[in-house]
Each structure stands twice: as C-alpha cells, then as structure tokens.
Amino acid sequence: MDEQDRLRLLAFFEARLNDEENAAKAATSGPWRHNPNKHWRKPGTAWFEEAVFAGSPGEDATCVAGTGETDDPQSMADATFIAYHHPNRVLAEINAKRALIKLHRTMSGDFAEAYLDAIKLHSAAYADHPDFDMGWSR
C-alpha cells in the first residue's frame, strides 16, 4: 500500500469511528438490557413486544427498542442483539480501534505494518460505505 492509500484508509477509518461515536453519544445511555420476562406494551393496544431497556430496572426503565411480538424467538434474538450493542460498548470498541491507529502511527517497520493490517481488517466492516476502497481489503 502506498503512502497516499495508507493516509486515505486512516482518514476513512477515523471518519467512520467518528460517525459511530456521534451515533452512540446521541443514543440513550447504556448499558441496555433485554429481560425476556419484561415486555413493552404498545401504547393504545393490548399488544406486547420484546423490548430493550435502559436505566434503572423497574417502572422507571426506558424502552429503547421494541423488536416484535412477545415470546417470538426472532424478536427475542433481536432484542438480545440490540442490548448487547449498547452505546457504552460501542464507545469502548471505538476507543480500542483508535488505539490501533495511534499504535500504527507511533510504530515503524513491521510493527507499523501489523497495526495497519489490523486497521484494514476493521475497516472492512464498512465495505458498504460509498467511500470504501476495495483495494484496502487486499
């Protein structure tokens, strides 16, 4: 990878991390949780949904997502997945990925290349972004 491509990759990756950080900070604070024994009732209906909650357990909890009909296996799986990816966890992952960038910039030789390889692998998660360069995956 030449220097221009390396700089483009780093800028792209940092921009995606910034996007995720902004989204995580705008979301309801985590951690989020899914309790299969606690459901959310759609206002004005008798329909109950699997739900992801934030805040203190109990009636003061905030429902951050309803995923579908109560006890539906897919709704339960979706709720568990959403709860697992709460904002605090996303921010921790962003910090770890930024540490990779910092290590890459402070290292030289094979160590710098190893960190760049890790950055390439992580940036591939954004392959559906219009600015992603498929050449970075090689």
Looking at the fold, whether 131 and 102 belong to one and the same domain comes out as: yes
Q: Is 69 a residue whose pLDDT tops 90?
A: no
Order across the sheet with 62-69: list the strands: 32-41, 48-54, 62-69
CA-closest candidate to residue 118, choices 90, 91, 98, 89 = 98
Looking at the fold, whether 95 and 57 belong to one and the same domain comes out as: no
pLDDT, tens only, 9-52? 999 999 999 999 999 999 999 899 998 888 877 778 877 888 89
Looking at the fold, whether 22 and 36 belong to one and the same domain comes out as: no
Residue range of the domain that includes 44:
32-84
Looking at the fold, whether 80 and 38 belong to one and the same domain comes out as: yes
More confident residue, 70 or 47: 70
Q: Is 125 a residue whose pLDDT tops 80?
A: yes
Looking at the fold, whether 72 and 95 belong to one and the same domain comes out as: no
Looking at the fold, whether 100 and 128 belong to one and the same domain comes out as: yes
